[in-house]
């Protein structure tokens, strides 16, 4: 861990966001990155408190993530799930044997009264991750997906139903009563802060829950440093996940301009993919063009550098 | 599962008791064996409800036990413990990845309000075990080990301290307020019942907690069928575990006569090992001599047959 004050605050959900967070993590000095992570997907499963986005970012920064799945650990074993299925237990949400240790240890500490921010800080230390991972809030915020088939809990929609039901609206239950966690406030107060980066996670499913926490969007907007998003679309599609599908279902075109319009006055600028360079002048805010496909660490670092260079130019 | 009424009720703790329970299970027809199992060792660990003796008996009857350790499953993986240790979590109580599924599933169902007897019945069905495993009570009974180093919780004494502290007394906290579980009462009411077998588990650590449950000893005694114990000592020592050590610490000689005296008027007869045949006439109750070392299923079945033959002769 480092005593350095954060110079960059990133907002992240799962896979895509975690990849850029890793680029920033590798590019910056230890302690310079603070990542505000969506906890709207968190849920209790099998009596365990599971934080899918926090875990994906943690595993990705610690370089023990499973690049094939986008969730869970590399070199995992699956004995637990196999026996659980034999016992007739619920096996629709896959938990690897090593992954399980994280959930058990976190749940144990939460039950003993330790706040999620503190548990997460200690987990980062255990994994040797010097960047700060900050749950957006200590309060329970739950993303509810309104669909043509009714209102679904997030994991029910996303994992069990494989994001198939047609989305009509999103709800972030508890968000108006929630407040940013103290560690989030502290990171935003860092005098060293140079930029706020909205990572290329799904705006509706992963970033909006963060922005819905009472006062958080305003705190980001009013901080007085450039706020830059990386567009989660490449050629009208997300690299992974249902962003394009959800936009269509909500009656939106899957374009960089629609993403920029969605974030509205939060952003000072947006980075779009080279594939979409024709949109550079049509998003209604300053844009930069870069390779946003982050298939390896070199590309993740290159994108992180491009994003910060762009932010400094604004 | 079978609709047969139990003809034999066995009392069992962990390893030694489970081996004879397996012999009885293999020898009898499906459904004829009901096993009352010690829950005084049960404890909550890592937020999970762990029942060491129920699990040992279940795994042994299901033939998926680990013969090397006396606890846990065969062909187990250990990824969970390995990661938990990396996270700084408590790793003194070893839980294998497959074993963990049992604890998670049981805990999940107990938290939803299902009684331990019902959860255990369903687990037996999942494992294809037709014998009935009956927790001695639904109430929390906790074996506390009074030692020269203070009062220790059971697993603290047995696992963490490896039974090293000198025992001065045993306490079964909660036993006087506990009542036999309904399934225990029902098994003892079976009109087909021919014998009650006290398996060769540690009398002080494993069998006495069962007998301490309010009314249970009397219910066994008053049932009117022969009650036969298998002596847990062979040549003054237990095959596994600290029975001999504890007897010495309590000022008792580790002999079949001392075991018989300890159980007192509960017993109608006792089976002792061939090694101890000189004690046959000196135990103050009818005895039978048999090979009590149960190193394989054939020996377990042979001992079960010998015990039931002896019981019928009384």
The pLDDT value recorded for residue A239 is: 86
pLDDT at site A282: 95
Using the predicted structure, report yes or no on whether residue B244 has a pLDDT greater than 80: yes
How far is A102 from chain B, CA to nearest CA, in Å? 7
Whether the predicted pLDDT of B162 surpasses 60? yes
Q: What is the mean pLDDT of residues B146-161?
A: 95
Question: pLDDT tens digits for A95-139?
Answer: 999 999 999 999 999 999 999 999 999 999 999 999 999 999 999
What is the mean pLDDT of the segment spanning B279-292? Answer: 97
Task: Return the SS3 of A170.
Answer: strand
Helix (H, G, I), strand (E, B) or coil at A264: helix
Assign 3-state DSSP to chain A and report helix, strand, coil percentages, each to 5. 40, 20, 40
pLDDT band at residue B70, thresholds of 50, 70 and 90?
Answer: confident
Residue at token pair 């060769």: B200
The Cα B222–Cα B225 span in angstroms is 8
Residue A89 has its nearest CB partner, among B79, B98, B101, at: B101
- Average pLDDT in the A240-268 region? 96
Contacts of B68 by beta carbon, 8 Å cutoff, 6+ apart: none
Residue-range domains of chain A with CATH: 8-65+115-313 (3.40.50.10680)
Residue range B76-118, pLDDT digits in tens: 999 999 999 999 999 999 999 999 999 999 999 999 999 999 9
- For tokens 């413990």, the residue is B81
Mean pLDDT in residue range A7-22 = 96
> Is beta strand A8-12 parallel, antiparallel or unpaired with respect to A195-198?
parallel
Q: Is B182 left (phi over 0), alpha (psi -120 to 50) or beta?
A: alpha
Alpha carbon distance B267, B261 (integer Å): 9
B261 touching A (Cβ < 8 Å): no
Which residue, A307, A203, A313, A311, is CA-closest to A256?
A203
Q: What is the pLDDT of residue A2?
A: 43
pLDDT in tens, A171-189: 999 999 999 999 999 999 9
Judged by average pLDDT, the poorest of A52-56, A306-310, B89-93, B126-130 is B89-93
Q: Do B97 and A79 touch (CB under 8 A)?
A: yes
Q: Look at residue A303 in the predicted model and tell me its pLDDT.
A: 98
Residue A61: pLDDT band with limits 50, 70, 90: very high
Distance from CA of A95 to the nearest CA of B (A): 11
Tokens encoding B106: 């049981």
Residue B150 pLDDT exceeds 50: yes
Residue A4 pLDDT more than 80? no
- B96 CB near a chain A CB, below 8 Å? yes
pTM for this predicted structure = 0.89
Contacts of A100 in chain B (CB under 8 A): 80, 83, 97, 100
Structure tokens at B90: 């408590």
CB–CB contact A46 B79 (8 Å)? no
pLDDT in tens, B35-44: 999 999 999 9
pLDDT above 70: residue A3: no
- pLDDT confidence of residue B239: 86
**Nearest CA to CA, how far is A77 from chain B (Å)?**
7
Q: State whether B79 and A81 contact (CB < 8 Å).
A: no
CA distance B236 to B256: 8
pLDDT at B180: 97
Pick the closest to residue B134 from B115, B121, B150 (CA basis).
Answer: B121
ipTM value for the complex: 0.87
Helix ranges restricted to H, B28-152: 52-61, 79-86, 97-111, 116-126
The yes-or-no verdict on residue B3 having pLDDT over 60 is: no
């Amino acid at each position: 861990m480092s005593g350095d004050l954060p110079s960059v605050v990133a907002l992240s959900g799962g896979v895509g966001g975690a990849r850029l967070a890793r680029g920033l993590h590798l590019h910056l000095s230890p302690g310079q990155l603070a990542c505000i992570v969506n906890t709207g997907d968190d849920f209790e499963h099998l009596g365990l408190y599971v934080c899918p986005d926090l875990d994906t970012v943690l595993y990705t920064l610690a370089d023990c993530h499973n690049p094939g799945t986008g969730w869970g650990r590399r070199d995992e074993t699956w004995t637990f799930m196999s026996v659980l299925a034999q016992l007739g237990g619920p096996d629709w949400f896959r938990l690897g044997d090593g992954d399980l240790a994280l959930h058990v240890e976190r749940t144990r500490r939460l039950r003993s009264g330790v706040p999620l921010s503190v548990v997460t800080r200690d987990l980062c230390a255990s994994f040797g991750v010097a960047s700060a991972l900050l749950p957006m809030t200590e309060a329970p915020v739950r993303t509810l997906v309104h669909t043509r088939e009714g209102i679904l809990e997030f994991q029910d929609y996303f994992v069990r139903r494989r994001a198939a039901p047609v989305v009509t609206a999103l709800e972030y239950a508890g968000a108006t009563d929630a407040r940013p966690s103290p560690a989030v406030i502290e990171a935003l107060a860092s005098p060293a802060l140079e930029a706020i980066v909205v990572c290329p996670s799904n705006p509706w499913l992963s970033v909006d829950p963060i922005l819905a926490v009472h006062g958080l969007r305003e705190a980001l907007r009013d901080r007085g440093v450039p706020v830059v998003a990386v567009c989660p679309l490449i050629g009208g599609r997300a690299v992974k996940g249902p962003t394009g599908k959800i936009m269509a279902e909500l009656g939106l075109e899957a374009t960089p301009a629609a993403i920029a319009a969605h974030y509205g006055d939060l952003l000072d600028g947006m980075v779009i993919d080279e594939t979409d360079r024709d949109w550079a002048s049509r998003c209604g805010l300053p844009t930069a063009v870069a390779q946003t496909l982050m298939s390896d660490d070199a590309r993740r670092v290159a994108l992180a550098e491009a994003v910060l260079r762009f932010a400094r130019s604004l």
